[in-house]
Structure 1
Amino acid sequence: MVSIWEENYSITPREELSGDLSTDVAVIGAGMAGILTAYYLTQKGFKTIVVDGKRIGSGQTKGTTAKITSQHADIYHKLIDQFGEEKAKQYAFANENAILEYKNLVNELLIDCDFEEKSAYLYTLEDATPLEEEAVAARNLGIDAEFTKETELPFEVKGAVKFANQAQFHPLKFLSAVASTLTIYENTQVLEVEDTLLKTNRGDISAKYIVFASHYPFINAPGFYFLRMHQDRSYFLACKNATTLIGMYRSLEKTGYSLRCYKDILLFGGGGHRTGENSRGGQYSALRSALAQFYPESKEFAHWSAQDCMTLDGVPYIGPFSDGKPNWYVATGFGKWGMTSSMVSAQIISKQIAGEDVWYAPVFSPERFTLTSDFKALLEETKHAVKGLTRRIFQLPKATEEELPLGHGGIIEVDEIKYGVYKTENGEIYIIDPKCPHLGCQLEWNPDELSFDCPCHGSRFTFTGELLDNPAQTDIDDKKER
């Protein structure tokens, strides 16, 4: 399961770290946020290095739909209600400016990345009133937005908000070009961070400033981001022989679909759920059924999934990591909007490190927490974490090794000990410890992706125990095959 970006493009490998070194800034994570942050810091004269436990763009960047848009669901009227008009303006400006910054970089660096300016649509099949309100709110904040009932979609909508002057591109082509002049060490896993020292599996890095751009911060304290976020998964199909769409589309309803075209390829997405809560599977099959209904002549040739960090209030955490760590910075919680949020992060963090004023930074401050607005969401996150921990103790697995069908996995119990088990189509059995190495929650089987996923904080592992997604930093040690 690889995305169309991975299928048709490969970024030149970089060497791993080969010993200790020192630098002005160390950026953890070589995805879009990390690479852009390092680029702008380098432009400001800071000696900057990037380290990644795997490859450049091998995390969430490779799974994006690559929409560069300030249209983040129906967020603007909610921001005005929750934060006030001034902070809503900060959010709107930051994301509109991010689109312009992408365009500027593409032109300045002559990047061939299939960059196209498009309109973005948020549509609904239900009550259109919230979208009418969203169009008004966005316009009042300076965005070129309008309410419409006209779309190219193969089904009737009750209404849509259209944002003009948005964009899309090929993310790995863009990432490769921006990364070409940067110092990057791949296959270099950061294991610990102590003040100004990064301890990796390849050597130690001393840095005046440290930027956590690793999708999900793996340091639990300070910051306590694991209490303030969860992770969601989404699924995508790529197909040909479907109608070419001019705009980019996303449903207001969680059960709806995301659509956009790359050349003659339709990207059709949906099926979102909280990571670790897909034990029944069926996400890809549901998408295929809908695709056949809307575009009966289409031919699927690729499918993949992506993961997003979701904050308590829907706004990313960008800026200083915590009060007690003045030299640490973080970029996380991008929701479904990783491309614009990556650029916003790069702009804010590079300027803050350089001592420049960033008037639109307060709305993204990681240190924000209001008891009245966030308490209910915090309780919900805590409930899921407790559920994930206690199911290891109290929940009896429903399957036994003998009952598992070929090609299926699950949690089984033998002599009061739980195991994560996958049985291949050939009858080979893989066994792992189902305890997440992050904070000890019980992993759950995801049949759509043949993985074991953590319902607490979103770490994911292959059925052989290899780490797929953080905040866990290590593979599962206790594993065997028979």
Structure 2
Amino acid sequence: MKSVWLENYNIEKRESLKGNINVEAVVVGAGITGLLTAYMLQKKGVEVIVIDRGRILNGNTKNTTAKVTIQHNLIYDKLLKEFNEENAKRYAEANRLALENYKKIIEENKIDCDFENVDAYVYSLNNPEKIINEYEAAKKIGIDSELLDEIELPFKIAKAVKFKNQAQFNPVKFLNFIAKDLKIYEDTKAIDIKDGLVITNRGEIKAEHIVVATQYPIINVPGYYFLRMHQERDYVIALKNAQKLKGIYRDENEEGYSFRNYKDLLILTGGSVRTGANEEGGKYDQLREYAKQLYPASIEEFNWSAQDCMTSDYIPFIGIYSDEMPNVYVATGYNKWGMTSSMVAAIIISDKITGKENDFNEIFSPSRFDLTASIKNLTKDFGTTVYNFIAQKISLPESVLEDVKLGHGGIITYEGEKLGVYKNNKGEVFTVSSKCPHLGCELKWNPDDLAWECPCHGSRFDYKGNFLNSPTIKELKYEE
């Protein structure tokens, strides 16, 4: 599986770190957040390097649907109700500034990245009140919006709200330009961060400022981000012979679908599920069936999936990692809106490092943690994690190797212990430890992605145990 952004596109390979070095700032993670932050720091005269455990743009950035919009589902009605009008305005203004920054960088540097302005829509199939509330909230805080009864998609809706003059682009083309003058070390894995040092498998990096841009933070304590977020996956197919849209669209229902065009393709997204909860599979088939209902003549050209960190109050954590680590910064919890959120993070963190004040620190601060606004989701997240830990203690699988069908995976017992087994269509067997090396939660098999996933915190591994997604920093132990 490969996303459309990587089609016919090669990214320059970078060397790995060779020994200990001293720098003013180091960014851990070469995805969109890390690259934008390093780019802005370098523009402000800061000596900065970027490290990544794998290749540049090899994480979730390549799997985005790349909608650049301040419209983040029904966020503004929530912000007005759970925080206050001032913070709702700051959230909107930060994301508006992010959108403007993209435009400015692309225009000034004449970057060929298929950037285009489009309107963004959130629609509801059966709950007009939610849309009306979001429209009224948007108008109250000054967002140029419009309430609609119909949209161009081929089905009826209850209501939709339109945010005018948003955008979409090809993120890999854009970031390839952003990265060209940055010092980036690939195949350089951060193992620990302490006392102004990033300890890697290639040497130690001493830095005045350290930015953790690994999507999910890799340091558990302090910070405790694993108690404050969960991860979700969404599935994507790109279709030929579908519909040419004038805007980008999102169903307000988390189980609904989103739509956008890229050149002659329609990108259809759906199948949202908590990471580790897709044991039945069928998410791609669900999308294909829906596509055939809407566009019978469509042909699937690409399919891929993406992972996102979800905070309990729907606002990213951007700022100081922890009071105990004042020279370390974090950006995480984008709640599926990574394009503007990553630019917001680059603005906030680069300002902090260079001593510039801005108005966005409070609303995005990792230390905000307003329990009154997030207690319901926090309790749900924590309960799910606890359930998965307890379930693995009281349940031993009865399956043995012979029970695993060709092309499938599962947990089996072997000599009284649990093992994760995948059996390919040729009958070859790949066996791994069943425990996530992050905090020991029992892994679940995802048949759609042929991957082992942690239902507690969202770490992921391929069927051979190779790392796919943090918070883990370790590979999964392979069992002979």
Give TM-score, length-normalised by structure 1. 0.98
Unpaired runs of 5+ residues, structure 2, are none
Q: Name the CA distance, whole Å, in 2 between partners of 1:259 and 1:125.
A: 15
Deviation at 1:127, TM superposition (A): 1.3
Q: Name the CA distance, whole Å, in 2 between partners of 1:171 and 1:9.
A: 12
- Amino acid corresponding to residue 208 of structure 2 in structure 1: K
Post-superposition Cα deviations, 1:185-228, rounded to whole Å, max 9, x if no partner, equal: 11111011112101111111000000011100010011100000
The yes-or-no answer on 1:66 pairing with 2:66 is yes
Post-superposition Cα deviations, 1:280-328, rounded to whole Å, max 9, x if no partner, equal: 1110001000000000000001100000000010000001111111101
Contact 1:119 1:162 in 2 (8 A): yes
Contact 1:90 1:361 in 2 (8 A): no
Deviation at 1:437, TM superposition (A): 0.5
- 2:230 is aligned to 230
Q: Name the CA distance, whole Å, in 2 between partners of 1:400 and 1:272.
A: 31
Q: Name the CA distance, whole Å, in 1 between partners of 2:4 and 2:228.
A: 32
- Amino acid corresponding to residue 288 of structure 1 in structure 2: R
- 1:282 is aligned to 282
- Amino acid corresponding to residue 116 of structure 2 in structure 1: E
- 1:339 is aligned to 339
Contact 1:123 1:161 in 2 (8 A): yes
> Which secondary structure state, in structure 2, belongs to the residue aligned with residue 259 of structure 1?
strand
Post-superposition Cα deviations, 1:108-147, rounded to whole Å, max 9, x if no partner, equal: 1111000000000101101111111111111221211111
> Which secondary structure state, in structure 2, belongs to the residue aligned with residue 345 of structure 1?
helix
- 2:54 is aligned to 54
- 1:322 is aligned to 322
Q: Name the CA distance, whole Å, in 1 between partners of 2:242 and 2:454.
A: 36
- 2:142 is aligned to 142
Deviation at 1:398, TM superposition (A): 5.0
The yes-or-no answer on 1:90 pairing with 2:90 is yes
> Which secondary structure state, in structure 2, belongs to the residue aligned with residue 39 of structure 1?
helix
Deviation at 1:12, TM superposition (A): 1.0
Deviation at 1:24, TM superposition (A): 0.7
- Amino acid corresponding to residue 111 of structure 1 in structure 2: I
- 1:213 is aligned to 213
Ranges of 4+ aligned residues in structure 1 off by more than 6 Å: none
- Amino acid corresponding to residue 79 of structure 1 in structure 2: L
Contact 2:189 2:200 in 1 (8 A): yes
> Which secondary structure state, in structure 1, belongs to the residue aligned with residue 42 of structure 2?
helix
- 1:43 is aligned to 43
Unpaired runs of 5+ residues, structure 1, are none
The yes-or-no answer on 1:397 pairing with 2:397 is yes
Post-superposition Cα deviations, 1:408-455, rounded to whole Å, max 9, x if no partner, equal: 100111232000001111111111001000000000000111111000
- 1:380 is aligned to 380
Q: Name the CA distance, whole Å, in 2 between partners of 1:400 and 1:126.
A: 46
- The 5 Å alignment of 1:265-276 reads 265-276=265-276
The yes-or-no answer on 1:250 pairing with 2:250 is yes
Aligned identity (percent) is 50
Deviation at 1:396, TM superposition (A): 2.4
Q: Name the CA distance, whole Å, in 2 between partners of 1:282 and 1:443.
A: 19
- 2:423 is aligned to 423
Contact 1:464 1:479 in 2 (8 A): no
Q: Name the CA distance, whole Å, in 1 between partners of 2:392 and 2:432.
A: 14
- 1:175 is aligned to 175
Q: Name the CA distance, whole Å, in 2 between partners of 1:6 and 1:400.
A: 39
> Which secondary structure state, in structure 1, belongs to the residue aligned with residue 87 of structure 2?
helix
Q: Name the CA distance, whole Å, in 1 between partners of 2:79 and 2:308.
A: 20
- 1:114 is aligned to 114
Distance 1:267 1:398, change over 3 A: farther
Q: Name the CA distance, whole Å, in 1 between partners of 2:390 and 2:78.
A: 35
Q: Name the CA distance, whole Å, in 2 between partners of 1:69 and 1:105.
A: 16
Q: Name the CA distance, whole Å, in 2 between partners of 1:399 and 1:280.
A: 16
Deviation at 1:361, TM superposition (A): 2.0
Contact 1:92 1:142 in 2 (8 A): no
> Which secondary structure state, in structure 2, belongs to the residue aligned with residue 42 of structure 1?
helix
Contact 1:121 1:163 in 2 (8 A): yes
Post-superposition Cα deviations, 1:127-177, rounded to whole Å, max 9, x if no partner, equal: 111111111111221211111122110111111110111000000000000
Contact 2:239 2:299 in 1 (8 A): yes
> Which secondary structure state, in structure 1, belongs to the residue aligned with residue 318 of structure 2?
strand
Counting matched residue pairs gives 480
Deviation at 1:376, TM superposition (A): 3.0
Deviation at 1:374, TM superposition (A): 2.6
Q: Name the CA distance, whole Å, in 1 between partners of 2:184 and 2:418.
A: 40
Contact 1:136 1:146 in 2 (8 A): no
Contact 2:464 2:478 in 1 (8 A): no
- 1:24 is aligned to 24
Post-superposition Cα deviations, 1:367-400, rounded to whole Å, max 9, x if no partner, equal: 0122333333222222222222223221222532
Contact 1:410 1:444 in 2 (8 A): yes
- The 5 Å alignment of 1:150-189 reads 150-189=150-189
Deviation at 1:13, TM superposition (A): 1.0
Q: Name the CA distance, whole Å, in 2 between partners of 1:286 and 1:10.
A: 31
Contact 2:83 2:373 in 1 (8 A): no
Distance 1:285 1:137, change over 3 A: same
